[in-house]
Structure 1
Amino acid sequence: MPTKRRATATKAHAHEREDILNPHAISTLSAGAVSAMSAVGAAVIKQNKAALGQNADWFWHMFAKCEAKAARLAEQATHDPKACGDATFIETYARNLPKLMASALETREKALKAK
Structure 2
Amino acid sequence: MPAKARTTGRATATNATAQAREDILNARAISTLGAGVVSAMSAVGAAVIKKNKAALDKNPDWFWHMFAKCEAKAARIAEQAARDPQGCGDATFIEAYAGQLPKLMMAALESRDKALKAK
Q: TM-score, normalised by structure 2?
A: 0.89
Matched, 1:10 2:14: yes
2 CA distance for matches of 1:105 and 1:54? 12
Aligned length: 109
SS in structure 1 at match of 2:42:
helix
Q: TM-score, normalised by structure 1?
A: 0.92
Overall identity of the aligned pairs, in %: 77
Matched, 1:45 2:53: no
SS in structure 1 at match of 2:14:
helix
Structure 1 residue runs of 4 or more that deviate by more than 3 Å after TM superposition: none
2 CA distance for matches of 1:32 and 1:11? 27
Greater RCO (CA < 8 Å, at least 6 residues apart) = 1
Q: Which runs of 5+ in 2 are unaligned?
A: 1-9
**Root-mean-square deviation over aligned CA pairs:** 1.5
Q: Which runs of 5+ in 1 are unaligned?
A: 1-6
Q: Deviations over 1:25-61 (max 9, x none)?
A: 0000000000000000000000000000000000000
1 CA distance for matches of 2:30 and 2:16? 18
